[in-house]
A and B are shown apart, each in its own frame.
Chain A
């Protein structure tokens, strides 16, 4: 469904991605592992249209997304949950969610149904719906960021280090959310530092190093292969 083909990305003069190729199938959860600064986040940003690839293609359902503005990428069914969450701090929780609901062709009933659905998965967001986004705790902000992405009814969510800096209890909540999304048929491209979690929820895993994909294997295979994990991730 989503394919990056030989993508090269630069920030100014520094060459960040050196020909990255990644595929995510419909409804599939795919992990993207690697040390800090190997280009995992840039891979997601390039997919979202936030950074333009100098070379290569980003193909979604047969359509080349290269050069498309981010809001148009969002409209084709790709949602983005950035590493730093980027909650609209001065907007209320409900208004944060509404940023993804004010789309043409979405009936009032459907909007309400989508809200009810995320409130059911994240009861804390219902409680805090009139509170400013900036006043939420880190874990609550992460939930809001994911819930906000779900408002777009995406076919795939690009999830950038959702468990970073969260308490273990919150981490298991994120694991549950990923499972729920997977059951609903939403594909996920998951960038993580948390190796056990990634191997548990993903079907396949790509491992990046220095702006390139160095290893690609089914997650089940890596679960027993500590040598590969140790070689690329040092854990």
Chain B
């Protein structure tokens, strides 16, 4: 290890880390929102990314419009998420966390097999809507990658505004803090849960479509998202939206830098190390104020 890493490579990996971090943040913010309000760790979250990507790819193939595919996938999967929550998770509310972990794990298997049956085993490609490239040191860097990061940031910003302003934002935040008092104040908590799950599902689908041109669409792509989003949600502090977003970028940067010295497949180890260290030393999350 005497050869120094050129600064250009580090900068390129920084951009790469931020881009994949923003896509991950889009997945993780839905996961953390759902956990925060329902205490449900949704192990089928990655499958919602995958279904979104497939719905997007199918819509793109028949209409030719990426943005139409993007919106369709988000809406279809949001609706699907609402039905899924109302039919399978609502009856389990308040049970042992193990029950919902098993239930969502079961759902993830069903959705994977459904995708295999519906769309077959071969990977689909989503054509990127923005094709140009620009000079980034020694690379021709695709504009689309930068656009995904900006786009993901815009969606997360919109979510933040939605939670800060207006009736549903207050309902969601009140129900997240105290489900019982929220319902005593007349807030229809079961409906709020369904709404939050639908939002999380829609955001997962949006990430699936955005990710499609970068990594391809397969029925097994979901697991990787679930795993990475889960790491990020723990590292950022369970149920903490801002923490999850920071942790997404942090973990993705960590992996990007690690892949400078080891192969990208081994770089994943860096996120697990971050996960384990967080659980050991800051179990409430890295990006939350120290509990008093």
Residues in chain A within 8 A of chain B (CB atoms): 48, 50, 69-71, 73-75, 79-80, 82, 86, 88-91, 95, 98-100, 102-103, 148, 152
Contacts and interface: CB of A to CB of B under 8 A. Distances in A.
A86 B177 CA distance: 10
Contact of A82 (B181, B183, B186, B188): B181
B189 A71 contact: yes
A103 B173 CA distance: 16
Given A48-B184, A88-B174, 15 more contacts: A50-B184, A71-B188, A74-B183, A74-B185, A80-B184, A86-B180, A95-B174, A98-B170, A99-B171, A99-B187, A100-B185, A102-B170, A102-B187, A152-B185, A152-B186
Given A70-B180, A71-B189, A152-B186, A102 B173 contact: no
Contacts of B180: 50, 70, 86
Contacts of A50: 180, 183-184
Contacts of A69: 183, 188-190
B170 A99 contact: yes
Which secondary structure characterizes the binding site on chain A?
loop
A69 B184 CA distance: 9
Contacts of A91: 170, 173-174, 177
Most central of B170, B181, B186 by chain A CB within 10 Å: B186
B94 to A, nearest CB: 12
Contacts of B170: 91, 95, 98-99, 102
3 closest cross-chain pairs (CB), A and B: A74-B186, A70-B183, A86-B181
Given A71-B187, A74-B186, A103-B186, A90 B173 contact: yes
Nearest to B164: A95
Interface string B143-169: 000000000000000000000000100
Contacts of B103: none
Nearest to A98: B170
B267 interface: no
A75 B186 CA distance: 6
B178 interface: yes
A82 B180 CA distance: 11
Contacts of A86: 178, 180-181
B274 to A, nearest CB: 27
Contacts of B177: 88-91
Contacts of B185: 71, 74, 99-100, 148, 152
A98 B168 CA distance: 11
A86 B178 CA distance: 8
Nearest to B179: A70
A82 B173 CA distance: 19
Contacts of B214: none
Contacts of B174: 88, 91, 95, 99
A9 to B, nearest CB: 16
B161 to A, nearest CB: 15
